[in-house]
Amino acid sequence: MTSLPLSEIIGMLPSLRLTVETHGLMAKKALGQNFLLDANIIDKIINLSLSAQKKASYADDYVYEIGPGPGGLTRAVLKHDPKKLTVIEMDERCIAIMEEIQNKIGSRLEIINRDALTIDIAALDSAPRHIVSNLPYNISVPLLTGWLKNINAYQSLTLMFQKEVAERIMAPINTKDYGRISVLAQLTCKIEKLFDLNPNCFTPAPKVWSTVLLFRPLTCTPSPQQLKKIEHLTSLAFGQRRKMIRQSLKQIPALAEKLKTLNIPDTLRAEQLTPQQYLQLADLI
């Protein structure tokens, strides 16, 4: 290790393409891997996220990355001087790459070789916390759902999704994309689209476009108890989204009275209720 600034140390590392070649890092479909190797695009993700947050760097902040792969985002985050960056990775080949970076910069890079779905990130370090990740597409929604349930533990989430998933997250009411994840995300966060990425930006190129979203917790967010009820309501409603809510939510005790209290017609369908209406109904359960 040296006493050089992190940005200079990162600049001395081999290129991402050379790193991939050296480690024989062919992307594994089973792990949802598609590697982003263009340093300009990777830097753009972090720069746009920090700019939107009116931050110059991650100084004094704890940052977490899920599935770092060959380390493109890892490098981009480290160049912005986090107090600590923790990477969570299952692929032993990628762990070896992370260890090479760790050998250069020391304990400011922590490596966890586990399934991210089994880890409570908020319990690892104190605030402020940020998550930055090109999420494995096959587990992106379960990961996001878990973080949203405890969103006040984080200052921001900068996440890449398949474009169609991002559209579901941001979907307005009365659209086919509006669903459970739309309600949960919009009740807990201010969501900002940073930009879309062409499939050709990745190795191997996926069949879909990707989108980077920035999530920041709202000033007032539902409690864990409220979110649990909202999850139940949306599961029922969107599980039978073609039916009127008087049918899809019929197992809710005294449903008609509750809907009347809230001035919500029982002839509406799941996609016609706003996130706020789901919250109001949850409060009466």
Give tens-digit pLDDT for 64-76.
999 998 999 999 9
For residue 8, give the 3-state DSSP assignment.
Answer: helix
How high is the mean pLDDT of the chain? 93
pLDDT at 188: 98
pLDDT at 32 over 70: no
For residues 26 and 43, which has the higher predicted lDDT (pLDDT)?
A: 43
Residue 131 near residue 146, CB atoms below 8 Å:
no
Mean pLDDT within 85-98: 94
Q: Mapping DSSP to helix (H, G, I), strand (E, B) and coil, where does residue 213 land?
A: strand
Instruction: Report whether pLDDT(27) > 60.
Output: no
Q: Determine the pLDDT at residue 33.
A: 65
2-16, 79-93, 102-116, 228-242: least confident range: 2-16
Q: What is the pTM assigned to this prediction?
A: 0.92
User: DSSP letter string over 94-152?
Assistant: HHHHHHHHHHHHGGGEEEE-S-GGG--GGGTSPSSEEEEEE--GGGHHHHHHHHHTTGG
- Host H or E run for residue 9: helix 6-11
Q: pLDDT at position 1, please?
A: 52
The greatest distance separating any two alpha carbons of the chain, rounded to the nearest whole angstrom, comes to 68
What lies within 8 Å, CB to CB, of 62 at 6+ separation is: 82, 83, 84, 86, 124, 125, 126, 127, 128, 129, 130
pLDDT of residue 203: 78
Structural domains for the chain: 6-217 (3.40.50.150), 224-282 (1.10.8.100)
Q: Does 24 score more than 90 pLDDT?
A: no
Least confident interval from 56-65, 132-141, 246-255? 132-141
Instruction: Tell me the residue type at 108.
Output: R
Mean pLDDT value across residues 224-239: 96
End-to-end CA gap in the chain: 57
Mean pLDDT of 78-96: 94
Predicted local distance difference test score (pLDDT) of residue 29: 58
pLDDT at 31: 57
Range 230-256 burial, b when 16+ CB lie within 10 A, else e: bbebbebbbeebeebbeebbeebeebe
138 pLDDT more than 90: no
The pLDDT score that the predictor gives to residue 214 is: 98
